Amino acid sequence: MRRSGQCWWKFHRLQSGCCSRRSKMLKPVLGVLLFGVWTSSGLIRIPLRQMHSIRTQLRASGILEQFLVDHHPDTFSRRYVQCFPPGMSSMQLGRAREKIYNFMDTQFYGEISVGTPAQNFSVIFDTGSADLWVPSSYCVSQACATHRHFKAFESTSFEPDGRPFGIHYGSGQLLGVVARDTLMIGNMTIEKQEFGESVYEPGSTFVFAKFDGVLGLGYPTLSEVKGNPVFDNVMSQKKVDQAVFSFYLTRKGTNDAAPGGELLIGGTDTSLYSGEIHWIPVTDQGYWQIKMDSVAVQGTISLCHKGCQAIVDTGTSLIGGPLREILILQQLIGATPSSIGEFILDCARLSSLPHVTFVLGGKEYTITPQQYVRKEMLGGRALCLSGFQSVDIGSAHGPLWILGDIFLTQFYSVFDREHDRVGFASMKH
């Protein structure tokens, strides 16, 4: 399905190929930028910074429309993950699964270090994937020229693995090899962490991306690289007292210097939220997937009225849902499709637009028009864009919704691996 100027997601359940792991997806992306750290009793406190999304950068520079003409949306939204059997070239691979990334709306990035001495990289902290990858010094693509590279020969703690990996985007394959080295997040040190070194990054979207790589925080079943994902190593190496991490994300920041919130590894911070944390059990241990009771518009019209499944995803900027229901939702809030591939609203009518309520575990979570509308500037005038996007993704439990940045900037979110649950609380702004 094609819509001009929009990252439309399509998910296919693929039969297992050279890998035996089940098929999964990769979603739109949201990351975090670390600028400091404070530790106590096994807690790692990481201040966050927010950056402009790639889509905003392109729109502000006046080249978004031409970019979308030159690049079909699938060019930067579809990715296939493939496995390389021994002795098989990358061009002979069978597909193991398909994942989706919405690079255009990426907003938050984080700083990590790999190797000894430390080499710094900006990565997306992504609860919707489980692998860590950064560019290699041997990377030959144009995108690598504008990003930092990992220099394995400069690290005394580097351990080669040699297994190749591949990720297929619409414009070509991201290729690389697996390695192990020391990873630092803040001042937390994780030994012998498996990660991918990319040697080829396709397409021009990576050129515009400010992040160097991705650090996944999902369950191990999402992992493409054999070995423990980062947070599983954090747990197995007993780096934290609680197998918990939490996000405090804000939309206040609009430039590189603006604060974007905080990621806390190892617990929660009661000063950042009020009341009790409301817990919802994980229904499928891959993504942080939970049951959603319903979605209501202005408290009356109900979507997902028989219950549905939702993914809580820091790697997604918008709120996604099945095409049919999202189109109904766009109509109910007065959003109309535009020539730039976005659903737009009349900025003068924001105060009169309906509230949208998500019911999770019997508790209502309501977001206002000011919270679900993204306001940007185009040609010197304000442009109001809907924060909802269609994403037709099937699962064993039925169609999936995705609770991304638009939702997570309104509620304190907690991810608990010890009890396999996700928690939300009222955020202190």
Is 262 a member of any domain? Answer: no
CB of 413 within 8 A of CB of 247?
A: yes
Domain that holds residue 405: 269-427
CB of 297 within 8 A of CB of 274?
A: no
Q: Which pLDDT tens digit goes with each residue over 313-355?
A: 988 888 999 999 999 999 999 999 987 778 999 999 999 999 9
Q: Does one domain contain both 144 and 192?
A: yes
**Residue 286 to residues 183, 241, 426, Cα–Cα distance (Å):** 23, 23, 26
Residue 29: its pLDDT value, please? 37
Residue 394: its pLDDT value, please? 77
Is 95 a member of any domain? Answer: yes
* Pairwise CA distance, residues 175 & 360, whole Å: 39
Is 167 a member of any domain? Answer: yes
- State yes or no: pLDDT of 291 exceeds 90: yes
Q: Does one domain contain both 187 and 47?
A: yes
Query: Per the structure, how many domains does the chain have?
Result: 2
Is 3 a member of any domain? Answer: no
Q: Does one domain contain both 187 and 286?
A: no
In this predicted structure, which of 101-115, 124-138, 239-253, 337-351 has the lowest mean pLDDT? 101-115
Q: Does one domain contain both 212 and 302?
A: no
Residue 125 — φ and ψ, nearest 5°? -85, 110
Q: Does one domain contain both 206 and 281?
A: no
Strand partners, 289: 284, 311
Residue 23: its pLDDT value, please? 35
117: preceding bond cis by omega (within 30 degrees): yes
* Pairwise CA distance, residues 362 & 359, whole Å: 6
Is 20 a member of any domain? Answer: yes
Q: Does one domain contain both 171 and 291?
A: no
Q: Which pLDDT tens digit goes with each residue over 192-210?
A: 999 999 998 877 767 777 7
User: In the structure encoding, which two tokens stand for residue 357, read together?
Assistant: 């309520």
Query: Given pLDDT bands bounded at 50, 70 and 90, which one contains residue 59?
Result: low
Torsion of Cα atoms, 250 then 255 then 257 then 260, to 10° = 10
Q: Does one domain contain both 274 and 241?
A: no
In this predicted structure, which of 38-42, 119-123, 187-191 has the lowest mean pLDDT? 38-42
Q: Does one domain contain both 128 and 161?
A: yes
Q: Which pLDDT tens digit goes with each residue over 390-417?
A: 887 777 888 899 999 899 999 999 999 9
Selected residue with higher pLDDT from 131 and 31: 131
* Pairwise CA distance, residues 73 & 6, whole Å: 6
CB of 264 within 8 A of CB of 46?
A: yes
Q: Does one domain contain both 274 and 216?
A: no
- State yes or no: pLDDT of 21 exceeds 90: no
Give me the CATH number covering residue 351: 2.40.70.10
Q: Which amino acid is at 364?
A: E
Q: Does one domain contain both 201 and 234?
A: yes
In this predicted structure, which of 6-20, 159-173, 185-199 has the lowest mean pLDDT? 6-20
Residue 335: its pLDDT value, please? 96
The catalytic residue positions are 126, 313
Q: Does one domain contain both 180 and 290?
A: no
- State yes or no: pLDDT of 241 exceeds 70: yes
Query: Given pLDDT bands bounded at 50, 70 and 90, which one contains residue 268?
Result: very high
Residue 54: its pLDDT value, please? 52
Residue linked to tokens 């970019």: 67
- Average pLDDT score, the chain: 76
* Pairwise CA distance, residues 316 & 128, whole Å: 8
Average pLDDT over residues 110-115: 92
Residue 11: its pLDDT value, please? 26
* Pairwise CA distance, residues 140 & 176, whole Å: 11
In this predicted structure, which of 134-148, 225-239, 285-299, 391-405 has the lowest mean pLDDT? 391-405
Residue 87: its pLDDT value, please? 34
Q: Does one domain contain both 219 and 298?
A: no
In 128-211, which residue ranges form alpha helices assigned H by DSSP? 205-208
Is 97 a member of any domain? Answer: yes
Residue 172: its pLDDT value, please? 60
Average pLDDT over residues 58-68: 47
Average pLDDT over residues 105-115: 77
CB of 371 within 8 A of CB of 353?
A: no
* Pairwise CA distance, residues 309 & 323, whole Å: 15
Is 360 a member of any domain? Answer: yes
Q: Which pLDDT tens digit goes with each residue over 134-171?
A: 999 999 888 888 899 999 999 999 999 989 887 655 55
Residue 390: Cβ within 10 Å count: 20
Selected residue with higher pLDDT from 44 and 297: 297
| pTM greater than the 0.75 cutoff | yes
